[in-house]
Structure 1
């Protein structure tokens, strides 16, 4: 690799890179609702026309940031899962590794975390283009649950929750089909796990637990372990995937 070329690239980012970098600063300073092309241009030392040449409308820029945030957070999880899997970790240890990776990403990128998991931006409706990136996070969790199921690592639920089928075909497809009893509602349980994870991260990133627990990282591990019980997966708080 030509290091001098790499340094030159870092020092002279492309207009798109510079715009996105300035926009991420805006997310932290004013939030997604306050994002404007004028503010991005000002923070990036660019003319508004330069920004508009790449992103004609604010929503175009928001969509790009949303996709980047989903992709970056999912990449962190995928890398953690790959490392844990290469180390021969159990499904429970893999789950702990990927949730920790998502937590670390969220704390390192609070503006982007808030963009995708915080309050909706008024008058902005994420287009279909964001769906593939948004699907990567649940896909990581689904892969771990599926692996645990196929490897005999899941404990059958104590009781089935009665009710009609609740799943859309896309959710079933993402998991690879509906398993047979006693795990026939494992996809619904996995979605509850996913919801609990995001809610827990919202609490921690927005400082809703700092005045209630002594060790927020340890509490995070504990909460993941409790949530994992609903799908019959054993997670040991404090466990290492190495």
Structure 2
């Protein structure tokens, strides 16, 4: 297949679109969700507001693009961490996924806040679109971890009583397509695992954990080891 070569104008447009997104994330880190505004981005970049609108027609379009990019980048990172561990050790894969979540969140707190924290005032996500697809991909990856350990949970009484109607229809459609043998309780397990991962990470990112813990990474790892012990697996060594 012949290589597609972009024209100079096309390259400049791609580079400018990337700079707009990078500027938006920098403003988010400095001033929180309220700081994301196309006019503010234009000022930072020395452009006219009209020029920025030529790349993103609305602020919500830009935010949706940012969310999709962040989700895609973080899921790439989580999947790489998971796949670096043998599929024969699903417990260790859960730990690897969780620790990758924390490492990313600590390195990129503004991005964590964008998709898991502070809502952007007035933002109305469009139905469907790349942001929704990227979020579903993240959920599906987590469900895959739960599916790998599900055989050890299938006879637990506390896992009974869940129905597909307990969950968002779009997520259910993805899960039932990718994991046809997983019951509703398997999806519940995935969300409960995510709650255990997210809780300590959010406390650390928002500055509520460091005053109480000199080593949040050690605390988080202990939590992940506790999760997989409850699932019937031995924590990884080291």
Paired with 1:157 and 1:207, the residues of 2 have a C-alpha distance of 40
Give yes or no for the alignment of 1:195 onto 2:211.
no
Change (3 A) 1:135 1:201: same
Paired with 2:75 and 2:221, the residues of 1 have a C-alpha distance of 19
Aligned counterpart, 1:222: 222
- Cα pair 2:146 2:189 within 8 Å, conserved: no
Paired with 1:168 and 1:32, the residues of 2 have a C-alpha distance of 26
Aligned counterpart, 1:5: none
Aligned counterpart, 2:213: 213
Aligned counterpart, 1:113: 112
Q: Report how far residue 205 of structure 1 moved.
A: 0.9
Q: Report how far residue 107 of structure 1 moved.
A: 1.4
Paired with 2:124 and 2:19, the residues of 1 have a C-alpha distance of 24
Paired with 2:232 and 2:140, the residues of 1 have a C-alpha distance of 17
Q: Report how far residue 229 of structure 1 moved.
A: 5.1
Which secondary structure does the structure 1 equivalent of 2:233 belong to?
coil
Q: CA RMSD in A?
A: 2.8
Question: TM-score by structure 2 length?
Answer: 0.81
Question: TM-score by structure 1 length?
Answer: 0.80
Which secondary structure does the structure 2 equivalent of 1:125 belong to?
coil
Aligned counterpart, 2:7: none
Matches within 5 A, 1:1-242: 14-85=15-86, 90-127=89-126, 128-129=128-129, 130-149=131-150, 154-155=152-153, 158-160=156-158, 163=161, 165=163, 166-175=166-175, 176-177=179-180, 179=182, 185-228=185-228, 232-234=231-233, 236=235, 239=237
Q: Report how far residue 101 of structure 1 moved.
A: 1.3
* Count of aligned pairs between the two proteins: 222
- Cα pair 2:147 2:182 within 8 Å, conserved: no
- Cα pair 2:33 2:118 within 8 Å, conserved: no
- Cα pair 1:76 1:101 within 8 Å, conserved: yes
Change (3 A) 1:74 1:34: same
Q: In the TM superposition, what whole-angstrom CA distance separates every residue of 1:39-68 from its partner, at most 9, and x where no partner exists?
A: 112222333222111012111111111111
Change (3 A) 1:42 1:204: same
Q: Report how far residue 214 of structure 1 moved.
A: 3.2
Structure 1 unaligned regions, length at least 5: 1-9
